[in-house]
Structure 1
Amino acid sequence: MSHIHLCWELGGGLGHAGRLKMLAQVLLSRGHRVTMSLRDLMHTHALLADLNVPKLQAPVWLHSAAGLPQSANLAEIAFHCGYLQPEALRGMVAGWREMFALLQPDLVVGDYAPTALLAARSLGLRSASVGSGFSSPPHGRALPAFQSAPAERLAASEARMLATANAVLAGFAGRSTCMQPYAHAADVFCGDLQLLCTWPELDHCETRGEAQWMGPSFVAQGGIAPQWPEGEGRKVFAYLKAGHTAHGAVLKALVEEGCRVLAYVPEVAAGGPAPLASEQVLYAESPVALPQALAEADLCVCHAGEATLAQSLLAGVPLLMLPSHTEQFLSARRVAMSGAGYNAALLTPESDWRAVLRALLNDASYRDAARAFAARHQGFSQQQMNQELALQLERLLP
């Protein structure tokens, strides 16, 4: 029996913890010992409550870095997490090293956890990365840009991140048998083995070249059975957050287009006011069972989160996407390129949402593209994918 430590360091939401939960379940079934360290123990508590493994607080960056431009690649995101100066990063790496020294894992697996992987490298521990294309840049190549920025700036940012990581690594020289410096900044995110949990159509890096796409990893179980408002209008499932400025405008446009809307808005479910009062909108009191809801829906409206996108596409349901941050924007762009949805990132609450919805509901090309996507991935199995992930990880074990 080997001891495998799963860790999550950067990023938000429940997707990272959900992916590690399913991987942990498979590894446990194969006889391994599993421990976890998580960026957020509070929000993940309910999701992981039935997973009987030790769950620890991951060392995370708690400080702000003022004066930096909007991040245009992963190096510039890393600057906000300690990678500006070796002196700052060294304490983070030391925290991970102390954790690994106490736990004594045989393998470290990171989901968007570059500092954990760096610490593992400094100790001579084997490591692997799992995650979407966003947090898993192409190994041995320049970091892809998320948005337009001067090439000189991107190159300088990448060089600075690489220098910081290698300086910290060199600082632990003599305490480990593995002190090879990184050749590229991208390698900090990859570990010894990179496992891509996405499909090529959704991969944020459009020029990755040769790669093995395992398919998206998401927790599909659970949720209440869908109920729809009475009537004859199209059924639309909406997963929206009140923090998005256009969420009310979208719901209003759906009602004006005669749709019946089942909406899960976490803030409303928690007791907050509904953004729109209408007999055509039913607000779910808790998360909805997505496979059931999407089997009946004509359209899915969401923020382009990984789990919702994947399940909607597997169901052959087109999407209206309102991304809230860079990773969601890149996902929405990829879906829009496939023809299976509309990326509304540039629209405002005052935009003509009814025209956008009318096209999505009446133009057959959107549903045709979504159904073609579903046909290409017919038979995709989360269980099989996680078994394959486990098999590949086992090849790294001593």
Structure 2
Amino acid sequence: MDNENKKFIDVETNQIEEVNESVFENNLIHKNPKKKKRMFFNVVLALIIAIIGGLSGSGVTYLMIKNTNAINQSTKSYVSPTFTEDTSAETLSTTDAFNKVAPAVVIVSTKGLSSNGFVPQQVEGIGSGFIINEEGDILTNYHVIQGANEVKVTLSNGKEVNATVVNYDEAQDVAMIKVESGTVIPAVAELGDSDQIYPGAQVIAIGTPLSKEFAQTLTQGVISAVNRNVQGQNGTNINLIQTDAAINPGNSGGPLVNSKGQVIGINSMKIGTQLGGTSVEGMGFSIPINEVKTKIDSLSKPILNLGIQVREITSDLAKKYNLSEGIYVQGVEEFSSAEKAGIKVGDVITKFDNKKITTFNELKELKSGKNIGDTIKLGIVRDNKEIEITVTLADKTK
């Protein structure tokens, strides 16, 4: 790869936001180092919420949520809501509910590059997921596959197969991955109705805590609360189910299951320890499955790919390092649309079809209005000169 144009930026990890476009866009083979950013935020009520899983050496990243509305506890008088039990399906024993869902639960193993600054280091992660159709689509958490350049799935029968990232919703912390063509699907999970859950209802969580040796672990508990309003890692408020069923590192992306053997949530995070060392137990959170159902169609469609790894250059960093404000190209994927068009490491993308862009989200939003095979014009600053490059958009899963 041509690295002659690459500039060295020596900054602290919290000074510059890094986004791996190739991961976001289903490109699972990197040729350039990528740093896994650990997300840290202020704590609500001094609580550390651990996102269970993800790509890191320990398999755990941490999310500290802000003081307002993280877990939405109003200071006004609170009127307890009334819940009605759903009796539309047969109630199963814990064993039967587990046996119904467990064959569809998978281990999601990831590999990627993490770095301190620009120094690459190979790291591995582990999480869980569950199969939702015979085509081999699997729901998991976004943070499980974030930063991965290799994804493998271990089925309930023990067979390990390759998988690709199809799409994701970062704000909701949901991702869709797909097993390789020809894979025999052992089972498909039945999706339930998370609007029918209520505090006190029996639930089980299934997943792979800590390592593959503990695959298909079942933990049991109840719904502790519904509609918990938690502020996520990008500042977006997420509506979550609270449960006391044990959720541990590696459970991320696994199903939360009701007494009918239906998936009513995706296990996502837990409250860990208060600042000061006070231990907190029995507070896990899951994404309501109804909020995911509405996204399944869009998650099944691949995101358009450029094939670049980027960092956002703020105005302050632009001044400090004599760069243009925009999207700094840290890496270019071999054989990608970007490489074919002539984009180089060290380029700063400032325009998309003559529209000024400074963040990756702006780039992603503009791409969302395009189709595979469309051409776009990127305004780029290279060696302090403005140039324009035409790129043809592609789907890297094909």
For the criterion TM > 0.5, the same-fold answer is no
Which structure has more RCO (C-alpha within 8 Å, separation ≥ 6)?
Answer: 2
Name the structure where helix makes up a greater proportion of residues: 1
* Length-normalised TM-score, structure 1: 0.25
* Length-normalised TM-score, structure 2: 0.25
Name the structure where strand makes up a greater proportion of residues: 2
